[in-house]
Amino acid sequence: MKIMGKQVLGRVSMRIPLILCFLFVTAIPLMIQARVLAIYNRKAMTSQAINDAQNRCTILANELAQAEFFTGLQNTSRITSLKTEIETTADVLGGRIVLVDANYKIMEDTFGLSGGKTIVVREVLKAFDGTPVTHIDDDNGFYYVVYPVMSRENALADGTGGNGSGAAKGNGDDPAGGKTADGVMILIVSTESIGLVRGKISGSTGLLQLLLMLAFFFVDVLLASLLLRPFRRLQDQLDTAADGNLSQEIDEDTYAETSDISDTVSRTINQLKAIDESRQEFVSNVSHELKTPITSIRVLADSLMTMENPPVELYQEFMEDISQEIDRESQIIEDLLTLVRMDRSNPDMNMRSVSINAMIEEILKRLRPLAKAKNIELAYESIREVKADIDEVKLSLAIMNLVENAIKYNREEGWVHVTLDADHRYFYVRVIDNGIGIPKEYQDHVFERFYRVDKARSRESGGTGLGLAITKNIVVLHRGAIRLQSEEGKGTTFTVRIPLNYIP
């Protein structure tokens, strides 16, 4: 679907990519933070649980050593109390405690499953040498601590001064059979409880993240609206201008971008206003210029009609004046038609390779009688032979207008010099005179239609005020440029620059 030549469907508001960009900037850090926190929480909670288990093992191992649980010198009441404490510890941790003596036989199992069985594994052997072993099995969901239990004598022999790890060997009478430890305590704990706690924390963290995401979303929407507000104000101003109200100033300088757009649109609107004013002025000028000769003809004709038997000489004089006014009217119409033809979007250009030297010589040949009549010296200097792709008829008209103006608006016994030169890209035609010159304040307007510096003198010389406008249009059609240099009372120079090769 199109409205006024513009595609309506499929357009995306600038707000959407802005919001998505803001969400991306805020969501990615939140997701990374959540992932880092989850990893940290898992490690921290597991580490804390193992530290707690190791501390409890240390306490129980000391108590077992003091009660001489593995040496056979057991205090029955103390042993009973210790077993109760061991079971309580296992229940609190939600795990299983197994006690192994020096013969690798299980003396106590809080689950009551392996009593009297033998266990010989690497971790137990290492613990009997006095080195505690800790291991986490994430795949099966548990961790265990294998802790040595050493009597005071073994501990002193080991060099720890109490229950602890060491590598010293006992003597042949050592009940531990040469082992450092008297026994080993194995604590096995499921990580399910850690997972449950971690799940609760993750749930709370996830909820918090969701709330933060929603908060960020609303903030992003608000920010996008605030950022786009100047563009909406600018759009409103442009809509007003599009409705025809060109008097309203386009001014939105909140951002550098909106300021640049405002300046560009303002310049465009000012140009449109200038074009509109120029069009209105042109219509007014055309009306006036066409009306003036007709009015003169009417006055002359009415004068003849009111006279009774006018003399033949007077009748002849009036008819000559009427003929001149008709010629002037025809010239104005011809110039207007020329401008209209050149103002078309695709004017006809009969481009061909032409000798510019020969063209200028032909123009000067036609204008020499006019220069001679006004006692004006007309000189031509050609620096080099020049051939270029031009529309000979149109460019001849442009150069002729410049030379003819230089002759008409010159002083008695003045001079007009025409020069031709070229480089590798352009050729240059300069028309120089020592005439009356153009005041500086008028120089920016001389190429406007119907503009005359000296209206009275222009009409006396037969000018229509369209010659320089036609000249500039022709030069522009050739992708060229025209420049004016003038000083009042000293003369004027027009420089025309045209490409040697025409590029459509």
Domain for residue 325, yes or no?
Answer: yes
Distance CA(441)–CA(354), nearest Å, equals: 37
Residue 246 pLDDT class (50, 70, 90 cuts): low
Is 178 in the same domain as 40?
yes
Is 72 in the same domain as 188?
yes
Residue 225, pLDDT above cutoff 50:
yes
Domain for residue 238, yes or no?
Answer: no
Q: How many CA atoms lie within 13 A of 83 on its CB side?
A: 14
Among left, alpha and beta (phi > 0; psi -120 to 50; other), residue 243 is alpha
If one compares 427 and 393, the residue with the highest pLDDT of the two is 427
CATH number at residue 298: 1.10.287.130
Residue 457, pLDDT above cutoff 60:
no
If one compares 160 and 448, the residue with the highest pLDDT of the two is 448
Token code pair at residue 355: 């000798």
Is 115 in the same domain as 39?
yes
If one compares 285 and 157, the residue with the highest pLDDT of the two is 285
Is 186 in the same domain as 40?
yes
Per-residue model confidence as pLDDT tens digits over 364-383: 999 999 999 889 999 999 99
Is 383 in the same domain as 338?
no
Domain for residue 240, yes or no?
Answer: no
Per-residue model confidence as pLDDT tens digits over 138-159: 778 788 899 998 875 555 455 5
Single-letter amino acid code for the residue at 21: C
pTM, two decimals, is 0.47
pLDDT of residue 345: 59
Per-residue model confidence as pLDDT tens digits over 89-102: 888 888 889 999 88
Domain for residue 226, yes or no?
Answer: no
Is 389 in the same domain as 451?
yes
Residue 314 pLDDT class (50, 70, 90 cuts): confident
Domain for residue 414, yes or no?
Answer: yes
pLDDT of residue 158: 54
Query: CB of 326 within 8 A of CB of 363?
Result: no
Residue 26, pLDDT above cutoff 80:
no
User: Comparing C-alpha atoms, which of 226, 289, 252 is closest to residue 451?
Assistant: 289
State which of 343, 375, 402 marks the end of a domain.
343
Count of structural domains within the chain = 3
Residue 2, pLDDT above cutoff 60:
no
Using a pLDDT cut of 90, give the percent of the chain over it. Answer: 22
For the chain, the straight-line distance linking the first and the last C-alpha, in angstroms and rounded, comes to 35
State which of 198, 224, 245 marks the end of a domain.
198
Other beta carbons less than 10 A from residue 308's beta carbon: 4
Is 267 in the same domain as 361?
no
DSSP alpha helices (H): ranges in 67-132?
Answer: 76-93, 122-128
What does the DSSP 8-state code read for residue 375? T
Distance CA(161)–CA(175), nearest Å, equals: 19
Domain for residue 245, yes or no?
Answer: no
Residue 209 pLDDT class (50, 70, 90 cuts): confident
Is 55 in the same domain as 192?
yes
Residue 484 pLDDT class (50, 70, 90 cuts): very high
User: Comparing C-alpha atoms, which of 314, 309, 397 is closest to residue 359?
Assistant: 397
Is 369 in the same domain as 312?
no
Domain for residue 218, yes or no?
Answer: no
Give the structural domain span for 268: 256-343
pLDDT of residue 267: 80
CATH number at residue 190: 3.30.450.20
Is 361 in the same domain as 337?
no
pLDDT of residue 415: 95
Domain for residue 463, yes or no?
Answer: yes
pLDDT of residue 403: 94
pLDDT of residue 152: 58
Burial (Cβ within 10 Å: 0-12, 13-18, ≥19) of residue 90: buried
CATH number at residue 488: 3.30.565.10
CA 254 to chain CA centroid, nearest Å = 17
Task: Determine the Cα angle at 24 with ends 18 and 27, to 5°.
Answer: 135
State which of 157, 183, 198 marks the end of a domain.
198
Query: CB of 427 within 8 A of CB of 492?
Result: no
pLDDT of residue 425: 94
Mean pLDDT of 54-65: 88
Is 48 in the same domain as 176?
yes
Residue 442 pLDDT class (50, 70, 90 cuts): confident
Q: How many CA atoms lie within 13 A of 126 on its CB side?
A: 12
Is 50 in the same domain as 190?
yes
